[in-house]
Amino acid sequence: MARARQERAEITRQAILDGAATAFDLSGFEGTSLSDVVKHAGVTKGALYFHFPSKEALARTLMDEQFQVSEHVPAVENPGLQTVIDLTHQMAHGLRSNVRIRAGIRLVIEFGSFTNPDPAPYDAWIDTCRGCLTPAQERGDINPSLDVQDLSTLLVGAFTGIQVTSYVRTRREDLHTRVTDLWDFLLPTIVPPQRIGRFRPEGSPEAVPPAPTH
């Protein structure tokens, strides 16, 4: 009986997060009310407050979820530059196919850019990149003169700008192409010429899901 209650509670919690993601993706944080979340989730306000005390708590949960795309990095045997390339394409795929990732990223940008800016999500992305690029540089895959922290910061900023521009211009239809462009232009600058051929700017076939079709 207790297990059944727990399962029902988790189903409700996930429905609330799905509803919140849909609402935030459509209207952003300021434009979304808890009534919007309830409507999209198909739950009562009482159920919502049982799981989440506020709109801010919902937003924080969705922002935390957007890091799931990099959760497997610690399990990669030899993380490096291709790992970061693949992560950018995996994030691009998530933005095109998963409303919870879209909502999380929109909230990160809103919370990190305007009222009471919070750098924590960006810092976490930068740390993930640095953790892959440091061993890459040690192996000779990145020019030794480059500062890996600065490079990681540049990559996070570039990807953020690219996905926002792609959303405004094409609703992210061209996002994978634009991310590939980023790496096509960047790799000759950061990688020694004799090692360029090791890397796939379009992402590894085994690591990057096919782009969604409509």
The pLDDT tens digits of the residues spanning 102-154 come to 898 888 888 766 566 778 888 888 999 999 999 999 999 999 999 999 999 99
pLDDT digits (tens, 9 = 90+) for 147-198: 999 999 999 999 999 999 999 999 999 999 999 999 999 999 999 999 999 9
The conformational region for residue 75 under phi > 0 = left, psi -120 to 50 = alpha, else beta, is: alpha
Residue in the structure block whose two tokens are 């969604």: 212
Decide which of 1 and 107 is more confident: 107
Question: Which tokens sit at 117?
Answer: 């800016």
Q: pTM here? A: 0.81
Which range (8-12, 61-65, 168-172, 181-185) has the least confidence?
A: 61-65
